[in-house]
Each structure stands twice: as C-alpha cells, then as structure tokens.
Structure 1
Amino acid sequence: MVVDIQREPSQASTKSEFMGFANFPNQVFRRCIKNGFHFTIMVVGQSGLGKSTFTNSLFLSEVYDVKPHQMPIPSTVKIDSKTVCLVENDVKLYMTFVDTPGFGDAVDNSNCWDPIINFVDQRFADYLAEETKIERPENIADNRVHLCFYFIAPTGHGLKELDIEFMKALQDRVNIVPIIAKADTLTHQEMLTFKQNILKDLDTHEIRIYKFPDQEGTIVGIKNAPTKCEDNRKRIPFAVVGSNKVIDIGSKRTRVREYPWGTVEVENLAHNDFLALRDIVIRSNLVDLINVTRDIHYENFRYKQMCKGAKGNLERDPFTQLEEERRTVEKEAAEVRRTKEKIFAEKVADREHKLADRGKALDEQEKENRRILHEKHGMLQKSLEELSEFRRAAGINDSGSSIGHIGRNSPPDGKKKKSSTLNIFNRN
C-alpha cells in the first residue's frame, strides 16, 4: 500500500528538514548530459522513395554526403548503418541511421523482409549477449532499433499487399511510423483521401503502429506550427518531402525542391508534414520510443529466447549459452594442454633416445680405445723385453757399458775415461 504524503517545507522550516529528493530530476538531467543518448532509426520502403534523402533532411545534416552539383544519392543495395554524434545545448545524441535496400522490384518478393527482420533480431541478440555476460561493461551501448520509418509509395489508393505483409512482419519487433513519400506528387484533397485509406487498411489488417502518448507540446519559433501534439497525431500517416538542396529564403536557409511551376519547402507545414513529424518524434517522444523498445519489443525477444532454451531447441537461452561456452573453452583448453603434454613427452623421449644412443656410442668408443691402448701397451712390453734380450745378448748393461771392463776394482771416475781410451789403443 502506497500513501501519498505531500510535504512542502514552510518558511520557518530549517534546511535540515528539507530532504532534497525534489532535486531528483536535476540529478537525472546531469546524468543524461554526461552519458548522452543512443537512438537508432531505420528507414524501410520500396526502391526510389527517397529514404536516404529523407534521412539527410531529418536532422539537418548530410549523413549521406551529397555536394552541390553532384549526382543524386545512389540506390542502397545492402543494409547500411552509420552513427553520428549530434550535439545541441551540451546534449549529446549518438544517432545511428540504418538505410535498407529497396524492395518490390523483383519478380518474386516473397519473404523480402527477412534480411531486415534478421538485422533487428541480431541487434537484440547482441544486446542480450552483452547484458548476460559474466564480466559485462558498465554502460552497454544501445544499438537496438528504436524506430522504423516505413515509406509508402504515393499511389493515392491505399496500402499494397506487400506493404501489409511487410508491416505485419515488423510490428512485433520495432516501433513503426508510416510515412507517405514524395508528398508533392498528390494534391491536398488526394492526400487526405490517401491517408484515410491507409488508416482504414491498417485497422482492417490489424497492423499495430507506434501510438504516440497523449501530451502537449509546441514547435517553438515555427510559423503556422501546431500548438499541441494532438494536432501532430492527426497528420498520421505523415506525408513528407525530402531534399538535399539548401537555399536562402529571406534570412533563413531551408531545404527545398524546385520545379518549373514552383518551389516546395521541406520545413513548411503548408507544403508537407515534415516539421510535424520531426516535432512529435524528436522533440516530444524520443525517450518514449527508447522505453517502448526496451520494455516491450526487447522483452518479447528476450522472453522468446528464454522459452527456446527451456524447450530444448537448438537456440539456447543466454545462461545456457554461457555454460556451453565455458565448457567448450575448458574442453579446448584441456585438449590444448594434452596436445602440448604429448608433444613435450615425445620430444623428451626422442631426446632421451638420442642421449642413450650417444652414450652407447661413447661406451663403444671407450672400449675400442681401451683395446687399442691395451694392444699398444702389450706391444710396448714386448718391445722392452726384446730390447732387454738384445742387450743381454750383446753384453751391454742397462747403462750402455760393456760387462767385461767393469770389474770389482774399477778405477775412479777421473781415471775411467783414460783407461777406456788405453783399452781402445790396446785393441788396435
């Protein structure tokens, strides 16, 4: 049970009695100023409806660069995403524009919306993966698609069957705002009839488009501007004109489309609904579009993913995916460890085998050297014995003297030489 207590400090109250939670909006404002906003707009429609040109006109910036006297923007052939940072009064807006290829030109257009649906789902899946990480960043970049401008060809009759099927496929994934392209091709009365037919088709086929909340707002500084958001909602679906040409009208630069019979001003409510669209989307409901995407479309996607995991389908919920990824990483790490251990064991065994072979070779060499040494030692001993026998046979002692002249009464060393000399002469 919640009880409302209105607390207004009196003039006699002290500062300690003022709690200060009334300052909460200022805290939120400061935080928003610090972090900025992330917003993603997707433009979808058949080929040749000026989706890229409209994107340039919406934020008064050349998202798709086009210089004066340059050829028109080429047709988009694949889903193109571009992010720019827009700053206005210190408020940062990280705006992502997603331009999709046109459809309707093929002979068979069955399921031509699949690439766009896959793109939206992939953005949800990327955010869900970041959100469910064990170590996730403090601020997750919100790249989810918050708004889809669906361009309708100005046929003057109503929605085509392809438009109906396309919006049915998108309505549960993104906020759809229908836009009538090239509004300058229909008269005022034709445009009113065309809008009524479109609203009737939306109601008949139960196509849910984004419903702008009830709130008041004004376009400040714009001549002939509606005074309430209710006036803007009455213009749904919005009929717009886009242009890359900017000229000076008086003291103001404005985007225009020039024809031989006159000039169409993009920012003139008498000519088209461009200003009303920009006011109700950007100035009044930008945050609400973010909240609806987060609280409804993203939660529906998240619930489906959880249910798929609970039913045991191939696609698992994020927690099961994390567990499977952890097991896969551990299995891969164990496999790598086993491979490295096997390689290490093989290298060690090969090294040990080489060392054993080398040891055997050294042992064999040592045995051979010992054998050779033993043989040489024997030969030396034999040679010494032969020498001794030779000396004994020659009558020479170990000192080299003859045995017969060295007697018991040998003269002193001083006379030994002389005696030897005399013996030599006597022999002669």
Structure 2
Amino acid sequence: MSSQPTAVIHDYVGFDTVSKQMERKFLKRGLNFNIILVGESGMGKTTLVNTIFSGHLVDSHGRKTAQEPLRKTTEIVPTTQVIEENSIRLRLTVVDTPGFGDQTNNEGCWTPAIKYIKDQHAAYLERELKPQRERSINDTRVHACIYFLNPGSKGLRPIDIEVLKRLTEVVNVIPVLAKADSTTIEERIAYKKRIKDELSQHRIQVYPYASEEDDEDDITLNAAIKELCPFAVVGSENVFNVDGNLIRGRQHNWGIINVDNEEHCDFVQLRNFMLRTHLYDLIEVTAQRHYESFRTQQLRQIKELRAAQAQAQNTGHPPMPMQTIMNKQQA
C-alpha cells in the first residue's frame, strides 16, 4: 500500500482532542473484564485473584486452615463485582471452574470450561445479530484464562497438554506455577525451562501472541513476559507486620514470604502484565482473534443451514428461527 502524503495545516483546528473525547466516553461506559480460572483443586485459584485485585472479591472454596479437609468447586461459579479506581469503572467477572487432575477418570474434565467460554461467544453473537441491536452489548466473553500448574509435577502432565491445546483455541491462556513458595529458586528455574520447552514441542500458543502491529517496545515487553512464563506466583490475603511494615504474605517456619517482593515470586509481574500493560489488549485480542474465529465458523454454518432450508421450503416446511439454528449448532 502506497503511503498518503501528509497535508500541512497552518492554523490549529482541534482534532487532536479526539483522544480526550474518547477517554470521556470510555470513562462513562467503563469496561468489562472476564477471567476464568482453570486447574486442579487446592491450587489457590480464587485467593490469587483476590490478591491481584487487592480485595476480597471472590469467596474461596478452598481450605481456611491447613487442618481442614480440601473443599472442591463442583460447578461453574461466576462472580461479578464492579470496582472503581481513579474514576475508571471495571465490571469484573471471575469464573471458577471444577478442579480436575485429582480424579481417577479425568476424561472430558475440560468440557465445563470450554462450554462456558463458547456459550459466552454464542450469547454475544446472538445479541449482535438481532435486527435491533443494543447500543452497547454487555460483554460476557472470557478475556483471560489463568491456568494453574501443580508445583509438584515434573512438567506438563498429559492432562495439562490436552486441556491447554483445547483452551488456547478459544481463549487467551496465561499459565502460572501455583504456590511457588513450595519450590526452591533452582527448582523454579528448571520448571520454567521445562514448561517452555514442552509448550513449544506441543505447539501450544499461550498469550501474548506476536502481532504485525507490534512496535519495538511491544516486542521487547512481550519477550520479557515470555521469559517469565509460567509466572511463579504466591497468593495471600493475610497481612503481617514485619519491622513496622504491613505486608501481604504467607507464614512459614523459616519466615514470611512477601507476595509483593519480586525476589520472592512473580506475583507483581503477573499483576502488572494483566492489569497495567495488557488489560485492554486481552479484551481486544479476544474480540479480534477468538470471537472472530467463532463468529466466522457460526455464520458459515448458518449460511449452509439457510441454504438447506431454502430447499426444504419447496416441500412446504416453514423457515427455522435464528435461535433454533444457533441452539442446534451449540448442541
């Protein structure tokens, strides 16, 4: 494509204020951010999310103390909260999923998570295709999947490989090494290298993805994120007084691990990545990559079904309603 010549203007006309106009609209509307948590039971999934957003937003289904028996999430549990920071409203939905990997038979254990993600795409598409669309469609599409890896495993288990392959087709996946305080620094380094090698070997693409639109800063930032992946994280809502300073952490016999200390774990890097540098990109990539792929597939199938209906009309059958067509596709 040939570049267009740039015209010179001699007086100020004011269109450079468009960014401020967009910001005002954005502030009024706010934004939706939807996260799904996937992994086996007992990995501290909801605790990590509460730590990321620095508040008790989601009730934990895990143990309150080490003496309690392990409690498990048995069904999809979405929790929505509206939070505000410096006039920016964020409608946050966190979706907890049934734990897997600790059952005798884990066949199809990924089905609830995949179905939920696709159902949100289908609901958005249905509202988008209405003759009279809403001015602003409520976005329930899942923008990020935090995938929790067991620190006790030696690498990706067969079930991890299977689930990750399926998830990365429909959602932005961010893998984390859960409860990283149960590993040594040397173990973490070796674990991360093994995971990166196995992801590459099995051609599993986790977020962030390379884009033709990336500039040098984007490339450098994403390379640093890829180097950290999977993030070795520790989550905690407990606060301790250490030398007069209040810190969030976990108590061990040898001392307290500070979740906000970058030398102790990768929690700060994960939070900054998800909220401070890539939040909007997660939303945008969901729309342009995952939803667009789903939408194209669905519309192609609708076109084929409509063509079949046109033939069926010759026999006197009435046309099938759009909702019935979409229900058939989802089934």
TM > 0.5 between the two?
yes
TM-score (norm: length of structure 2): 0.84
1:93 lines up with 2:90 in the alignment: yes
Q: Residues 6 and 200 of structure 1: is their aligned pair in 2 closer, same or farther, counting only changes over 3 Å? A: farther
Higher helix share: 1
- SS in structure 2 at match of 1:27: helix
Measured in 1, the distance between the counterparts of 2:192 and 2:269 equals 15
Please identify the structure whose Cα radius of gyration is greater. Answer: 1
Deviations 1:100-137 (A, max 9, x none): 11001222211111111110000000101111111221
**Structure 2 residue aligned with 1:124:** 121
Q: Is 1:159–1:201's contact at 8 Å kept on the other side of the alignment?
A: yes
Higher relative contact order (CA 8 A, sep 6+): 2
TM-score (norm: length of structure 1): 0.66
**Farther-moved stretch of structure 1 (242-251 vs 208-217):** 208-217
Measured in 2, the distance between the counterparts of 1:103 and 1:142 equals 28
Measured in 1, the distance between the counterparts of 2:236 and 2:36 equals 18
Query: Where in structure 2 are the equivalents of 1:235-246 lying within 5 Å?
Result: 235-246=228-239
**Structure 2 residue aligned with 1:300:** 293
**Structure 1 residue aligned with 2:206:** 209
Number of residue pairs the alignment of both structures matches: 304
Q: Residues 207 and 70 of structure 1: is their aligned pair in 2 closer, same or farther, counting only changes over 3 Å? A: closer
Q: Is 1:215–1:229's contact at 8 Å kept on the other side of the alignment?
A: no
Amino acid across the alignment from 2:131? I
What is the RMSD computed on CA atoms of the aligned residues? 2.8
Q: Is 2:81–2:91's contact at 8 Å kept on the other side of the alignment?
A: yes
Q: Is 1:86–1:92's contact at 8 Å kept on the other side of the alignment?
A: yes
**Structure 1 residue aligned with 2:321:** 325
1:174 lines up with 2:175 in the alignment: no
Deviations 1:377-423 (A, max 9, x none): xxxxxxxxxxxxxxxxxxxxxxxxxxxxxxxxxxxxxxxxxxxxxxx
Amino acid across the alignment from 1:90? S
Q: Residues 326 and 301 of structure 1: is their aligned pair in 2 closer, same or farther, counting only changes over 3 Å? A: closer
1:138 lines up with 2:135 in the alignment: yes
Q: Residues 132 and 266 of structure 1: is their aligned pair in 2 closer, same or farther, counting only changes over 3 Å? A: same
Measured in 1, the distance between the counterparts of 2:27 and 2:242 equals 34
**Structure 2 residue aligned with 1:186:** 183
Unaligned segments of structure 1, at least 5 residues = 10-16, 218-226, 317-322, 329-428
Measured in 1, the distance between the counterparts of 2:279 and 2:113 equals 22
Q: Is 2:58–2:94's contact at 8 Å kept on the other side of the alignment?
A: no
275, 283, 289: which is aligned to 1:282? 275
Q: Is 1:156–1:186's contact at 8 Å kept on the other side of the alignment?
A: no
- SS in structure 1 at match of 2:92: strand
Q: Residues 252 and 308 of structure 1: is their aligned pair in 2 closer, same or farther, counting only changes over 3 Å? A: farther
Deviations 1:260-316 (A, max 9, x none): 111111111100000001111110011111110000100100111112223339x99
- SS in structure 1 at match of 2:193: helix
- SS in structure 2 at match of 1:151: strand
Q: Is 2:78–2:95's contact at 8 Å kept on the other side of the alignment?
A: yes
Measured in 2, the distance between the counterparts of 1:327 and 1:304 equals 16
**Structure 2 residue aligned with 1:420:** none
Q: Is 2:248–2:258's contact at 8 Å kept on the other side of the alignment?
A: yes
Q: Is 2:37–2:146's contact at 8 Å kept on the other side of the alignment?
A: yes
**Structure 1 residue aligned with 2:302:** 309
Q: Residues 4 and 196 of structure 1: is their aligned pair in 2 closer, same or farther, counting only changes over 3 Å? A: farther
- SS in structure 1 at match of 2:32: strand
Deviations 1:3-36 (A, max 9, x none): 1416465xxxxxxx32222111111111111111
Q: Residues 46 and 85 of structure 1: is their aligned pair in 2 closer, same or farther, counting only changes over 3 Å? A: same
- SS in structure 1 at match of 2:320: helix
Q: Is 2:234–2:265's contact at 8 Å kept on the other side of the alignment?
A: yes
Q: Is 2:46–2:59's contact at 8 Å kept on the other side of the alignment?
A: no
**Structure 2 residue aligned with 1:36:** 30
Calculate percent identity across the aligned residue pairs: 36
- Return the offset for 1:165: 0.2
**Structure 1 residue aligned with 2:103:** 106
1:19 lines up with 2:13 in the alignment: yes
Deviations 1:187-245 (A, max 9, x none): 1111001000000000000001112666759xxxxxxxxx9665444211100001121
40, 52, 55: which is aligned to 2:49? 55
**Structure 2 residue aligned with 1:220:** none
Q: Residues 199 and 70 of structure 1: is their aligned pair in 2 closer, same or farther, counting only changes over 3 Å? A: closer
Unaligned segments of structure 2, at least 5 residues = 310-318, 325-331
Q: Is 1:243–1:255's contact at 8 Å kept on the other side of the alignment?
A: yes
**Structure 1 residue aligned with 2:312:** none
- SS in structure 2 at match of 1:268: coil
Amino acid across the alignment from 1:243? S
1:3 lines up with 2:19 in the alignment: no
